[in-house]
Chains A and B, each alone.
Chain A
Amino acid sequence: MSDTATRRPGESVFDRLEPLLPQVQKPIQYVGGELGAVTKQWDGAAVRWALMYPDAYEVGQPNQGVQILYEVLNEQDDVLAERTYSVWPDLEALLREHRVPQFTVDAHRPVGDFDLFGVSFSTELGYTNLLTALDLAGIPLHAADRDDSHPIVLAGGHAAFNPEPIADFLDAAVLGDGEEAVLEITDIVRAFKAEGSPGGRDELLLRLARTESVYVPRFYDVEYLPDGRIQRIVPNRPDVPFRVHKRTTMDLDAWPYPKKPLVPLAETVHERYAVEIFRGCTRGCRFCQAGMITRPVRERSITTIGDMVENGLKESGFNEVGLLSLSSADHSEIGAVTHGLADRYQGSNVSLSLPSTRVDAFNVELAEELARNGRRTGLTFAPEGGSERIRKVINKMVTEEDLIRTVVTAYSGGWRQVKLYFMCGLPTETDDDVLQIARLAHEVITTGRQTTGSRDIRCTVSIGGFVPKPHTPFQWAAMADPETIDRRLKALRDAINSNRSLGRAIGYRYHDGRPSHIEGLLSRGDRRVGRVIEHVWRDGGRFDGWSEHFSYDRWVAACDAELPALGVSLAWYTTRERQQAEVLPWDHLDSGLDSDWLWADWQDALSEVEQDDCRWTPCFDCGVCPAMDTEIQIGPTGRKLLPLTPVNT
């Protein structure tokens, strides 16, 4: 929709954007200019990437995936990478009215001018925002309608492990770690352009597909059975692989990013320097897609972590550090890491935190160590299931005793408030499994009061709807319908408040089951769901991850309009249990996990049989290490973190 007549490619649209900014909310989010941002000459660049996180700047800016790729790409002399985020509906309306295209925040260049438009999806609820961005950029929504003048539209992130619902809108998707993948793709595009782009868009996509690690949906045909199930998914060209494999960056010490973190001017959801201390997880929680698709475990060494924290604080000026991973206390040298950092930053104004820890008294010790500076950020634990039985089903191996002991240790250590996360709608769940959460919370407060002798303690119960995800043992499971979820959530609230004295000390946060239901459609959907997404978007659907924008009715109406003609429905995608023989929409996308192992684990779940952590016990043949030619990398290295002089004494 941009006026291309007089414009040079890559020319800034800021002069047209600027008069619109005083008319919108939080204009600072659109102007860029953050510390750490890079602006390069358009003309000198051989390959140009526009990177997007498809949500508002305040959510997208802190995303590490985008920040890492931005830095890795811009380190290449002849590569230019800029960032773009979803614009709020107020600016979207003005951009349309004044014919200003989707722009990057770095140099305000039109997204449609770039060679590649890479979009990182952490959640499926960003799909409608992809369509907004494509449309504002003047890029045809459907990949089939694009020509050589349009960027290659490429998806990454966890949701790219099943990109089928947005397959019509994508040229390609990349599974797994991005650091090396973006460089490899850049090399292919650079060489292709240097040769004069022989064969055009189709040839470029073919070259990408031949790497076997870039998925190009148009090169695969999906055939369906009369009952709506998929019959098969096959390449429609001879030199395209049957399966596309995920990428794994093995040596995290060789990729110590972000080195120059982007420091926002606008307020964002996480304003801290975050270091990923390891990737992958071996705990085997059956609901956890991240834990499954990021295997194997790869630890960053204690010395690299220490250097990254030191340098990251110096570069950014942040006064908060997060040590990130899927289960942060599981790093084999976590004790030495936390002790070393606590020593180093004692007496400074730097606060350290360890999000994502298991329900384990050891983790309270670690948190106490990190809180030596006096700041006690919240303690959060995720038992996920209320009853012992359901925790066996999901393989979250925590006993009630563990949980009570851990929480009481926290109260005794001076924490006044502890947050507990649970899920509702898990496979085999009954009303009683959910009501057990109330009993557990009551027990936590009762024991806490007895042990500390104080009534000034609280716990918050947060509960979200379970969504079965591809590449997990629950990928075959039926979702509970939203009515059942809502009924259980209300019953739980009543049960918590049934004892007024205890109920007063317990906070209760929940979302209704409807957004999860739609997330369920988008997670396990196939190419036919693309019509629903487009219908919702055309009907005004935007920012579906935001409760104030999400409309369940709009999604249901779109499903009712688009799916019956295809012989399927919203319920068919969500509340239907799959059989082992069914071809799943993502079966041609290889996460390394062996399908038979996943099925066996699903059967174990139904029989309430737990599976141990393969970090400490022999291999259970999930398939990742041999299939991907990788291996678990854990310490200890025996190295120590030396206390340095604090940055700011």
Chain B
Amino acid sequence: MQKIRIRYAKRGRLAFTSHRDFARALERAMRRAAVPIAYSSGFSPHPKISYASAAPTGVASEAEYFEVGLQAPVDPEWLRGSLDAALPPGLDILEAVEARTSDFADRLSGSHWVLRLPGVPDSTAEAAVAAFLAADEVPVERTTKSGRRTMDARSPVVRLAVTQRVPAVGEPGGEVGNTTPAPAAGGVDGPCAILDLVVRHVTPSVRPDDVLAGLRVVAELAPPVPPKVTRLAQGTLTGPGEIIDPLVADRDRAVSGTPST
């Protein structure tokens, strides 16, 4: 069975798509595009699609991943193009690479996020970030299915800084994104601090809203409107906080002609 790994983006208003919403939309797009998808056997067959660490609802992303199993081999670029055409604009299929390695999930060890805080001056954000980074531990509370729990928002943060602009492709940070996300929410005049954040994936995962909660804990940073968050990249985290494109390994294997696993 051929397996293809795909990177997609959630952009603009479709950032409000939840993971479940996306999964349903994708399955329908597969049918519209007549993708020869493989199904599980059994009474109620399910398409063979596995998703990797989806961004939270309301968060835009340039780097979401899933893997799909197919009954018959297809050209990955054909699959990318037809799925992209079948999905609504805003759910954009960016890359498709045939899976030739088996440790894909392990390669998603970190995420690069950008957080826009409309109404927050840079100086305020900088002070909060400094206080956050100076702390050994920043306990924050989150409500989960099993009730309220406390976690440390500090230790998984590899990099947190106030930045003047969003890093683009190829710059330090190792972004694989090919578009610069839209500017801050229109209609909100005045300052808008931009935070650059790299987080190591841990269990339970620490997400941008946990880091924001941490900034509130250490410095009472309370943005007047909800921040706009975008995931720029997911991949293998290196020591200095760079992220390596997780599809590189599959591409390299393809080039060297190693048979698929």
8 Å CB interface, B63-101 against A:
86-90
Judge whether B24 is part of the interface by a CB distance below 8 angstroms: yes
**On chain B, which size bracket covers the interface?**
35 or more
Quick one: which of B100-158 are within 8 Å of A by CB? 118
Most B-side CB within 10 Å, residue of A31, A267, A315: A31
Q: Are A317 and B28 also in contact (CB < 8 A) when A18-B185, A32-B13 are?
A: yes
A-B pairs with lowest CB-CB distance, top 8: A317-B28, A15-B187, A317-B32, A31-B13, A15-B186, A22-B226, A317-B31, A19-B225
The answer to whether B58 touches A27 (Cβ under 8 A) is: yes
Could you tell me if B58 and A317 are in contact, using CB atoms closer than 8 angstroms? Answer: no
Interface stretch of the complex, out of B15-23, B170-178, B197-205, B235-243: B15-23
Cβ contacts under 8 Å, B58 to chain A:
21-22, 27
Query: How many angstroms from the CA of A30 to the CA of B24 in the assembled complex?
Result: 18
Q: Is A28 within 8 A of B86, CB to CB?
A: no
Q: Can you report 27 A-B residue pairs in the complex whose CB atoms are below 8 A from each other?
A: A14-B13, A15-B187, A15-B188, A16-B187, A18-B13, A19-B188, A21-B16, A22-B226, A23-B226, A28-B21, A28-B57, A31-B13, A31-B14, A31-B16, A35-B87, A35-B88, A265-B17, A265-B21, A265-B25, A265-B88, A271-B24, A316-B28, A317-B28, A317-B30, A317-B32, A375-B44, A647-B31
A266 on the interface (CB 8 Å rule)? yes
Cβ contacts under 8 Å, A33 to chain B: 13-14, 88-90
Q: For chain B residues 40-64, which have a beta carbon within 8 Å of chain A?
A: 43-45, 57-58
Interface 1/0 per residue, A262-305 and B, CB below 8 Å: 01011100010000000000000000000000000000000000
Whether a CB of chain B sits under 8 angstroms from the CB of A96 is no
Residues of B within 8 A of A (CB): 13-14, 16-18, 20-21, 24-25, 27-32, 34, 36-37, 39, 43-45, 57-58, 86-90, 118, 185-188, 225-226
A residues 12-45 touching B (CB-CB < 8 Å): 14-16, 18-19, 21-23, 27-28, 30-35, 37
Residues of chain A within 8 A (CB-CB) of B87 are: 35
**Could you tell me which A residues sit within 8 Å of B by CB distance?**
14-16, 18-19, 21-23, 27-28, 30-35, 37, 263, 265-267, 271, 313-319, 349, 374-375, 647-648
A14 CA to B24 CA, complexed, in Å: 25
With A22-B58, A265-B21: A317-B88 Cβ-Cβ less than 8 Å = no
Question: Which B residues lie within 8 Å of A271 (CB)?
Answer: 24
Residues of B within 8 A of A349 (CB): 31, 39, 45
The answer to whether B32 and A316 have CB atoms under 8 Å apart is yes
Partner of A374, one of B17, B37, B43: B43
8 new A-B pairs (CB below 8 Å) besides A265-B21, A647-B34? Answer: A23-B226, A27-B58, A265-B14, A265-B25, A317-B32, A317-B86, A318-B28, A648-B37
- Cβ distance B116 to chain A, nearest Cβ, rounded Å: 11
A374 vs B18: C-alpha distance when bound (angstroms): 30
Report how far A314 CA is from B29 CA in the complex, Å: 10
Docked complex Cα distance between A35 and B20 (Å): 17
Q: Is the CB of B226 within 8 A of A19?
A: yes
* Docked CA distance A637–B29 (Å): 35
Residue in B21, B27, B44, B57 whose CB lies within 8 Å of A317: B27
Closest B residue by C-beta to A22: B226
Contacts of A34 in B (CB 8 A): 88
Minimum C-beta distance from A287 to chain B (A): 37
Taking a contact as CB atoms closer than 8 A, the residue among A266, A319, A374 that contacts B31 in the complex is A319
CA–CA, A526 to B140, complex, Å? 57
Known: A19-B226, A319-B31. A266 touches B21 (CB 8 A): yes
Q: How far is the CA of A15 from the CA of B225 in the complex (A)?
A: 12
CB atoms of A317 and B29 under 8 A apart: yes
Nearest-CB residue, chain A, relative to B47: A349
Contacts of A375 in B (CB 8 A): 44
CA distance A267 to B34 in the complex (A): 23
Chain B, residue nearest A16 (CB):
B187
